[in-house]
Amino acid sequence: MDKIKIIGGNPLFGKVFISGAKNTALPIICASLLTDEPVTIKNIPFLSDIKSLNNLLLQLGTDISVNEELLNGHNTQTITYHTPQPTSLIAPYDFVRKMRASYYVLGPLLAKYRHVELSLPGGCAIGARPMDIHLTSLEQMGARIEIKNGYVVADTDDRLKGAHIAFHSASVGATCNILMAAALAEGTTVIENAAKEPEIADLIRMLNKMGAHIEGENTSTLTIYGVKKLHGVTHQIINDRIEAGSYAVAAAITKGRIELINANPEYLKTPLDILQKMGVKIELTPNSIIVDAQNAVLHGEDIYTDYYPGFPTDLQAQFMALMCVSEGASMITENIWENRFMHVPELMRMGANINVHGHASAIVRGVKKLSGAPVMSTDLRASFSLILAGLVAEGETIVNRVYHLDRGYESLEEKFKAVGADIERIKEAD
C-alpha cells in the first residue's frame, strides 16, 4: 500500500488546475445507461472511482472508449459510453463494495430494462449510509423490490409510473437515482425535498439534453415529465467544488497564495465566506479563485455542515485541520453523517487540541504548532485533512492508506509539488 511523505513548513504559491467533479461524473456516467445511443462525457477526472465504475459498466455490456483531451489548459478524459443492449443487469458485491456510488445503476437499469439486481452497499467509515429513500421512492413508482442474499432485486412489468414523492432527507444519491428513473417513467413525478447540490443541476442539464423534461433545477421541488425514449448526447461536466475547497484550505493553512484555475465560486459561497471570516483574502477572476493567506493571522470560526448551499460535510475535515492552527476556538457541528470525526484522533497525534462531544460536535482550540507523525487515513476527505496538517507540521508526516486519496483527488502529489510542497509518494510492494 502506498504512503505519502510530507515535510511540513513550505508556504504554497502558484496555480492549481481544478479537475472535473467526481460526484457529478459518477451519476452522469450511469445516466448513459438510459439510452442505447452513444453518450460522450467530457472533463472526467483521472480517479480510481471512475475506473471502478467503468469496470462495472464493462461488465454490464457497455462499450467504453477513452480519449485524453486538453480542456482549458488541463489534461482531462473524454469518455464515450455505448450500451446498445446490456449483457447483464446485475451489479455484483465486489464492484459495489469498492465503490458505493455503483448504486447509480439502479434507477437507469430499472427504468429502461425493468429489472436490476444491486448488491446492497452497506455502511462505511463515515456512517450507516442507508438506501431507504431510493428504494421506497422506486416502490412508489410501481417497482417490486425484494432484498435477497444481500442484493436489492427490483422489477417492474411495465414502465415505472410517475409519483408524488417526499424525501425525508435531501439525499444527493436518491435525488440522482429517482431523477434518472423518472425521466423514462410514464407520467409526471414530483420530488419534494430534493437535494440542490450543483452536481444535481448538472445531471438535470445532461438529462434534458438527452430529451428528458425536468423542471425545478436548483430548487428543492423537481418535476419530471416522463418520456418514452432518451437519445445520445455530448456533455461536459462541471469542475470539482470539493477539490477546489480542499486546495483553498491548503493555501490558507500554509499562509500561501494559490490560484484555483477553473474553480466556480458560485458553488463555494459558504466555505469561502468562512475562510474570509477566518482572515483569508479571496479574489475572484473570470475563471479562477485566488486564495491569499500571506501574512494573515487566522482565527477560529464555527461551522455547521448542512445540505447545499450550507457548509459541505465533504470539507469539514479539511477545515478542521485549518482550525487546529488558527487562534482561538472553533466549534464544528457535523449534521449530515453520524461518524465523521475519524480524523480527530490522528490530528491529535500531531498535537491538535480537539474535544469531541457526542457524535456531532467538536471544539477545536488552536495550537501554535503541529508536529509531524505517521498517521492513518480512514476516508477520502479525512485523508486530505491529514495531508493539510502535514504541510504545516514541523518535521515529517507519513500518511498511510493513500488509496482513499486516489479515489477522489486527481494527481495529488503533482498538484501539490507544482505549488512548492515537499511531498512524495512512497510506493510499497505489499
Nearest approach, Cβ of residue 321 and ligand UD1 (Å): 17
Contact status, residue 81 vs residue 55, Cβ threshold 8 Å: no
Residues 6+ apart with CB under 8 A from 2: 402, 403, 425, 426, 427, 428
Stretch of 68-76, 81-89, 128-136, 285-293 lying at the interface with ligand UD1 (CB under 6 A): 128-136
Q: Which is nearer to ligand UD1, 102 or 397 (CB)?
A: 102
Q: Which is nearer to ligand UD1, 292 or 314 (CB)?
A: 314
With 0-12 / 13-18 / 19 or more C-beta atoms within 10 angstroms meaning exposed / middle / buried, residue 408 is buried
Which stretches of 210-300 are DSSP H helices?
Answer: 241-253, 269-278
Query: Coil, helix or strand for 293?
Result: coil
Stretch of 28-36, 59-67, 124-132, 220-228 lying at the interface with ligand UD1 (CB under 6 A): 124-132
For residue 174, state whether it binds ligand UD1 (rule: CB under 6 A). yes
Among 52, 119, 171, 318, binds ligand UD1 (CB under 6 A): 171
For residue 316, state whether it binds ligand UD1 (rule: CB under 6 A). no
Contact status, residue 210 vs residue 231, Cβ threshold 8 Å: yes
Nearest approach, Cβ of residue 312 and ligand UD1 (Å): 6
What does the alpha-carbon distance between residue 54 and residue 104 come to, in Å, rounded to a whole number? 12
Among 31, 106, 119, 134, binds ligand UD1 (CB under 6 A): 134
> What values do phi and psi take at 372, rounded to 5?
-60, 150
Stretch of 38-46, 171-179, 206-214, 254-262 lying at the interface with ligand UD1 (CB under 6 A): 171-179
Binding mask 321-360 for ligand UD1 (x = CB under 6 A): ---------------xx-----------------------
Stretch of 12-20, 62-70, 73-81, 132-140 lying at the interface with ligand UD1 (CB under 6 A): 132-140
Within positions 20 to 79, which residues make up the interface with ligand UD1, using CB under 6 A?
23, 26
Residue nearest to ligand UD1 (CB): 173
Which stretches of 240-343 are DSSP H helices?
Answer: 241-253, 269-278, 316-324
Instruction: Check 30, 124, 176, 324 and give the catalytic one.
Output: 124
176 is catalytic: no
What does the alpha-carbon distance between residue 396 and residue 398 come to, in Å, rounded to a whole number? 7
189 Rama sector, left if φ>0, alpha if ψ -120 to 50, beta otherwise:
beta
Angle formed at CA 416 by CA 413 and CA 421, multiple of 5 degrees: 110
Among 132, 215, 283, 414, binds ligand UD1 (CB under 6 A): 132
Size of the site for ligand UD1 (CB under 6 A): 19
Q: Which is nearer to ligand UD1, 314 or 410 (CB)?
A: 314
Contact status, residue 167 vs residue 174, Cβ threshold 8 Å: yes
Q: Which is nearer to ligand UD1, 134 or 255 (CB)?
A: 134
Query: Coil, helix or strand for 280?
Result: coil
Contact status, residue 415 vs residue 18, Cβ threshold 8 Å: no
What does the alpha-carbon distance between residue 268 and residue 291 come to, in Å, rounded to a whole number? 12
For residue 313, state whether it binds ligand UD1 (rule: CB under 6 A). yes
For residue 133, state whether it binds ligand UD1 (rule: CB under 6 A). yes
For residue 173, state whether it binds ligand UD1 (rule: CB under 6 A). yes
Within positions 5 to 24, which residues make up the interface with ligand UD1, using CB under 6 A?
23
Query: Coil, helix or strand for 245?
Result: helix
What does the alpha-carbon distance between residue 182 and residue 161 come to, in Å, rounded to a whole number? 8
Nearest approach, Cβ of residue 46 and ligand UD1 (Å): 17
For residue 314, state whether it binds ligand UD1 (rule: CB under 6 A). yes
For residue 379, state whether it binds ligand UD1 (rule: CB under 6 A). no
Query: Coil, helix or strand for 152?
Result: strand
For residue 234, state whether it binds ligand UD1 (rule: CB under 6 A). no
Contact status, residue 55 vs residue 88, Cβ threshold 8 Å: no
For residue 131, state whether it binds ligand UD1 (rule: CB under 6 A). yes
Stretch of 126-134, 290-298, 359-367, 415-423 lying at the interface with ligand UD1 (CB under 6 A): 126-134
Q: What residues line the site for ligand UD1 (CB under 6 A)?
A: 23, 26, 101, 129-134, 169, 171-174, 195, 313-314, 336-337
**Residues annotated catalytic, as ranges:** 124
